[in-house]
């Protein structure tokens, strides 16, 4: 089945829960007039190039990237010649949506989100959201609400100062280092991190050490051991659970790393 191309913006049809999921792949002759929507939009562009125009500013659209357009903001999308845009969107417009406060926190300001890690997370939730839309398994509306909520939380937890254009590799690594404080538990290796940031392993490790003063493995281990130590000192959580929360799949590996880092086993550390 051929892909349906759009000459004008698609119509938005809201579900009773107060959200809509849209998909739009533009023709070369796509045209969008100026508009003010009575609802906020989260748009993810996956192909093409163009300009997001407002009365007071113009934002270049590159793929992949995420843009938030607040309720009532006058805007239009202009495709670059020969590079029509493809996008997915989430629109929210109903008092019945579970958390209006979260919507306001995430969507009250115009923003362009280009941080590779943040875009990757939003992209993952959006893919699952689309799968729920296509397949419509049991309780798919509830699943979609959960996925949209995760996207909103991701946007709400980052200030507008963090969402400016990221011009170079050093800035991307610097932003990643900052995010590690709350993401040290992720089970990822150095190669996958470098790929996500669009860097070679060698360039990533070089920049990481220049900026942080230590290796990637050392930083991740230090953050994990600090968190494990806090749980051992201040809680009765089992050692197996602590290993899991810190990102270790294998308990014996956790024991080995903990002993190497602290000089004693987790059990001895807790008693002491």
Q: pLDDT by residue (tens digit) across 35-65?
A: 999 999 999 999 999 999 988 888 889 888 8
85 CB-near residues (< 8 Å, 6+ apart):
24, 26, 30, 45, 47, 48, 49, 50, 61, 63, 77, 79
pTM over 0.85? The answer is: no
**190 SS3 class:** helix
Task: Say what percent of the chain tops pLDDT 70.
Answer: 96
Which residues are bridge partners to 21 per DSSP? Answer: 90
- Asked whether the predicted pLDDT for residue 260 surpasses 70, the reply is yes
Assess whether 155 and 28 both reside in one domain: yes
Degrees to nearest 5, angle at CA 255 with 249 and 256:
100
- Asked whether the predicted pLDDT for residue 83 surpasses 80, the reply is yes
Bigger pLDDT: 237 vs 158: 237
pLDDT of residue 182: 86
In a domain, 74, yes or no: yes
**100 SS3 class:** helix
In a domain, 119, yes or no: yes
Task: State both tokens at 171.
Answer: 């800035």
Assess whether 150 and 180 both reside in one domain: no
Assess whether 35 and 157 both reside in one domain: yes
pLDDT of residue 99: 85
In a domain, 5, yes or no: no
pLDDT of residue 117: 85
CATH number at residue 254: 1.10.10.60
pLDDT tens profile 101-154: 999 999 999 988 878 888 889 999 999 999 998 899 999 999 999 999 999 999
Assess whether 116 and 45 both reside in one domain: yes
Assess whether 203 and 269 both reside in one domain: yes
Average pLDDT, rounded, for the chain: 90
pLDDT of residue 62: 82
In a domain, 158, yes or no: yes
Alpha carbon distance 42, 164 (integer Å): 16
Q: How confident is the model at residue 31 (pLDDT cuts 50, 70, 90)?
A: very high
Alpha carbon distance 25, 45 (integer Å): 10
Burial string for 113-139 (b: 16+ CB within 10 Å, else e) reads bbbbebbeebbebbeebeebeeeeeee
Q: For residue 247, what are the domain limits?
A: 167-272
**16 SS3 class:** coil
């Amino acid at each position: 089945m051929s892909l349906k191309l759009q000459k004008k913006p698609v119509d938005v049809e809201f579900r009773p829960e107060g959200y809509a999921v849209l998909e739009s792949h533009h023709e070369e002759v796509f045209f969008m007039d100026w508009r003010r929507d009575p609802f906020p939009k989260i748009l993810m562009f996956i192909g093409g190039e163009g300009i997001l125009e407002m009365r007071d500013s113009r934002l270049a659209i590159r793929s992949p990237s995420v843009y938030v357009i607040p309720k009532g903001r006058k805007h239009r999308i202009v495709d670059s010649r020969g590079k029509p845009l493809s996008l997915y969107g989430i629109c929210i417009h109903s008092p019945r949506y579970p958390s209006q406060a979260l919507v306001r926190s995430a969507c009250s300001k115009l923003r362009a989100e280009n941080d590779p890690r943040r875009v990757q997370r939003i992209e993952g939730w959006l893919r699952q959201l689309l799968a729920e839309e296509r397949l419509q398994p049991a309780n798919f509306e509830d699943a979609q609400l959960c996925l949209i909520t995760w996207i909103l939380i991701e946007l709400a937890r980052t200030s507008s100062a963090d969402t400016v254009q990221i011009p170079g590799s050093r800035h991307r690594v610097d932003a990643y280092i900052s995010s590690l404080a709350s993401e040290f538990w992720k089970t990822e290796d150095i190669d996958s991190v470098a790929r996500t940031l669009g860097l070679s392993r060698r360039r990533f490790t070089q920049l990481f050490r220049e900026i942080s003063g230590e290796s990637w493995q050392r930083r991740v281990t230090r953050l994990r051991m600090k968190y494990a130590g806090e749980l051992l000192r201040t809680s009765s959580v089992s050692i197996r659970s602590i290993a899991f929360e810190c990102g270790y799949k294998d308990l014996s590996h956790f024991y080995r790393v903990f002993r190497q880092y602290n000089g004693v086993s987790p059990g001895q550390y807790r008693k002491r």
